Chains A and B, each alone.
Chain A
Amino acid sequence: MLTVALFAPLLGALVLVATSRWSSAQARWIATGWSGVSLLALVMAWLAFDPSGALFQHVDEVQWVPSLGMAYRVGVDGIALAVATMSAVLFLAAIVYPFDTQGRARQYYAWLLFLHGVSLGVFLALDLLMFYVCFDLTLVGMYFLIGRWGHGEPQLAAFKFFLYTFAGSLALLLGIIALYLSLDSPTFDMRTIIEQQPLAGSGTYASLVFLAMMLGLAIKTPLVPVHTWLPQAHVDAPGPASAILAGVLLKMGTYGMIRLPLAMLGETFARFALPVALLALLAILYGALVALGQANLKRRIAYTSINHMGYTVLGIAVAASLAGGHDEARRLALTGATVEMVAHGLITGSLFLISGSLWQRTGDYAMARYGGLARRAPQLTALTVLAAFASLGMPGLAGFVAEFQVFTGTFAVYPWLAVLGVLGIVITAALFLDLLWRLFFGRLPEHLENFPDLNRAEIGVLGVLALGIVAIGVAPHFLLEVVEASASLLSGGR
Chain B
Amino acid sequence: MTLWGVPLTPWLLALLLYGAGRRLGPLALGLSAGVALLLTLAVTGLSLNAGTAASYRWSEALTLGLERSMAGDIFAWLVPLVALPVTLYAAAHVGQAPRRLVALLLAFVGAMQLLVLASDLLTLLVAWELVGACSWGLILHRWQEEDIPSQAMQAFLVTRLGDLGLYIAAAALFAGTGGFGYDALGELSGGLLHVAVAGIVLAAAAKSAQLPFSAWLFAAMAGPVPASALLHSATMVAAGTFLLARLAPQLDQAAWFSPLVVFLGLATALIGGLVASCQGHAKRLLAASTSAQYGLMWVAVGAGFPGVALLHTVTHACFKAGLFLVAGLAERRVESYRLADMRLGRLLPGVASLSLVLCLALAGVAPLGAAWSKEQIASAAADVSTWLALGIAVAGGLSALYATRFQRLAFGRSQRQRSSGRPPAWEERIALAGLAFVTLMLSLLWWRPFSEAIAAFLGIVLPKEHAWLMVVSLILVALGIGVGLWATRTSAPEAKPAWQAVLAGWLGLPTLHQKVAGGVMRFAHSLARFDDCVFDAPATQLALGLRGTARGLARGDDRVVDAGLMIAARCWQWLADINARRGEWLVDGLPSALAQGAETGGRWARATQSGQTHHYYTTITVGLGAFILFLLIGAIL
Mark A residues whose CB is within 8 Å of B: 156, 159-160, 163-164, 224-225, 227-229, 231-232, 286, 289-294, 326, 328-329, 331-332, 335, 372, 374-375, 389, 394-396, 400-401, 404-405, 407-408, 410-412, 415, 418-419, 422-423, 425-427, 429-430, 433-434, 436-437, 440-443, 475-477, 480-481, 484
Contact between chains at A293 and B172 (CB < 8 Å): no
B512 at interface by CB-CB < 8 Å: no
B143 CB within 8 Å of chain A: yes
Q: Indicate if the CB atoms of A292 and B520 lie closer than 8 Å.
A: yes
List of B residues within 8 angstroms of A404 by Cβ: 122, 125, 167, 170
Closest 3 CB pairs of A and B: A293-B528, A411-B171, A480-B59
Give 22 pairs: A residue, B residue, CB < 8 Å, sorted on A.
Answer: A156-B547, A289-B523, A290-B524, A291-B524, A293-B527, A293-B528, A335-B61, A395-B125, A395-B126, A407-B171, A411-B172, A411-B175, A412-B174, A422-B164, A422-B168, A425-B167, A429-B160, A430-B157, A430-B520, A433-B153, A477-B58, A480-B58
B58 contacts A290, CB within 8 Å?
no
Q: Are B144 and A375 within 8 A (Cβ)?
A: yes
Contacting residue for A425 out of B160, B524, B525, CB 8 A: B160
The reply to whether B524 and A395 form a contact with Cβ atoms under 8 Å apart is no
With A290-B524, A412-B171, A422-B164 known as contacts, the answer to whether A229 contacts B153 (CB < 8 A) is: no
For residue B167, which residues in chain A have a CB less than 8 angstroms away from its CB? 404, 407, 422, 425
Closest residue to B127 on the A side, CB-wise? A395
CB neighbours of B535 from chain A (8 A) = 224-225, 227-228
User: Closest Cβ of chain A: how far from B190's Cβ, in Å?
Assistant: 13
Q: A329-B175, A401-B58, A426-B157 are in contact. Are A159 and B168 (CB under 8 A)?
A: no
Given contact pairs A396-B126, A426-B164, enumerate 15 new A-B contacts (beta carbons under 8 Å): A163-B543, A229-B539, A286-B527, A289-B524, A292-B521, A326-B175, A328-B61, A332-B174, A389-B133, A408-B174, A426-B160, A426-B161, A429-B157, A477-B57, A480-B59
B58, B174, B527: the one within 8 Å of A289 (CB): B527
A164–chain B nearest beta-carbon distance, Å:
6
Which residues of chain B come closer than 8 Å to A286, judged between CB atoms? 527, 531
On chain B, the residues within 8 Å of A430 by CB distance are 153, 157, 517, 520
Distance of A76 Cα from B316 Cα, bound (Å): 58
User: Is there an interface contact between A441 and B175, defined as CB atoms closer than 8 Å?
Assistant: no
Which of A228, A374, A411 is B168 in contact with, Cβ under 8 Å? A411
Which B residue's beta carbon lies closest to that of A429? Answer: B160
Q: Would you call A156 and B528 a contact (CB within 8 A)?
A: no
The main secondary structure of chain A at its interface with chain B is helix
Q: In the docked arrangement, what's the CA distance between A294 and B524, Å?
A: 8
| Residue from A374, A412, A475 whose CB has the most chain B CB atoms within 10 Å | A412
Q: Judge whether B129 is part of the interface by a CB distance below 8 angstroms.
A: yes
Q: Are A442 and B62 in contact (CB under 8 A)?
A: no
Please state if A396 and B547 are interface contacts (CB–CB under 8 Å): no
Residues from chain A with Cβ under 8 Å of B543 in the complex: 156, 159-160, 163-164
Among B59, B143, B146, B525, the one with the most A-chain Cβ atoms within 10 Å of its Cβ is: B59
Q: Which residue of A lies closest to B164 (CB)?
A: A422
Specify which chain B residues have a CB less than 8 angstroms from the CB of A224 in the assembled complex: 535
Q: How far is the CB of A472 from chain B (nearest CB, A)?
A: 10
Knowing A426-B157, A480-B58 are in contact, say whether A415-B175 is a contact too (CB < 8 A): yes
Query: 0/1 per residue, B149-172, Cβ < 8 Å to A?
Result: 110110011001100100110111
Would you call B146 and A394 a contact (CB within 8 A)?
no
Asked whether any CB of chain A lies closer than 8 Å to the CB of B557, the reply is no
> When chains A and B are docked, how far (Å) is the Cα of A393 from the Cα of B343?
47
Residues of A within 8 Å of B524, CB to CB, are 289-293, 427
Minimum CB–CB distance for B126 against chain A, Å: 4
- B171 A481 Cβ-Cβ under 8 A: no
Shortest C-beta distance, B475 to chain A (Å), equals 46
Output the least CB separation between B624 and chain A (Å).
49
Q: With both chains docked as a complex, state the minimum distance between the C-beta of A278 and any C-beta of chain B, in angstroms.
A: 17
Q: Is B438 an interface residue (CB 8 A)?
A: no
Contact present for A294 and B528 (CB under 8 Å):
yes
CB proximity to A under 8 Å, residues B132-155: 133, 136, 140, 143-146, 148-150, 152-153
Across the interface, do B542 and A163 meet the contact criterion of CB distance under 8 Å?
yes
Q: Is the pair B130, A395 in contact by a Cβ cutoff of 8 Å?
A: yes
> Are B156 and A429 in touch, CB under 8 angstroms?
yes
Which of A286, A375, A441, A476 has the most C-beta atoms of chain B within 10 angstroms of its own C-beta? A441
Contact B126 A441 (CB under 8 A): no
B596 within 8 A of A: no
The answer to whether the Cβ of B546 comes within 8 Å of any Cβ in the partner chain is yes
* B183 proximal to A (CB < 8 A): no
**Docked complex Cα distance between A250 and B527 (Å):** 23
Cα A371 to Cα B70 with chains together (Å): 47
Complex: how many Å from CA A429 to CA B60?
29
Interface 1/0 per residue, B78-89 and A, CB below 8 Å: 000000000000
Neighbour of A408 across the interface among B57, B149, B171, B526, CB < 8 A: B171
Q: Which positions 155-204 of chain B face chain A at CB distance < 8 Å?
A: 156-157, 160-161, 164, 167-168, 170-172, 174-175, 178, 195
Q: Does B540 interact with chain A (Cβ within 8 Å)?
A: yes
Given contacts A156-B547, A375-B144, contact A293 B525 (CB under 8 A): yes
Q: Which of A289, A292, A405, A429 contacts B62 (CB 8 A)?
A: A405
Q: A293-B527, A332-B61 are in contact. Are A231 and B536 (CB under 8 A)?
A: yes
- Inter-subunit contact A441/B144 (CB<8 Å): yes
Please, how many angstroms separate the alpha-carbon atoms of A418 and B136 in the complex?
26
Residues of A near B152 (CB, < 8 A) are: 433
CA distance A449 to B164 in the complex (A): 40
C-alpha spacing A282/B196, complex, angstroms: 25
Do the beta carbons of A481 and B144 come within 8 Å of each other?
no
Tell me whether B544 is interfacial, beta carbon within 8 Å: yes
A476 → B minimal CB distance (Å): 5
Q: Are B164 and A423 in contact (CB under 8 A)?
A: yes
Distance to closest chain A CB from B371 (angstroms): 39
Interface residues of B in 509-534 (CB under 8 A from A): 517, 520-521, 523-529, 531
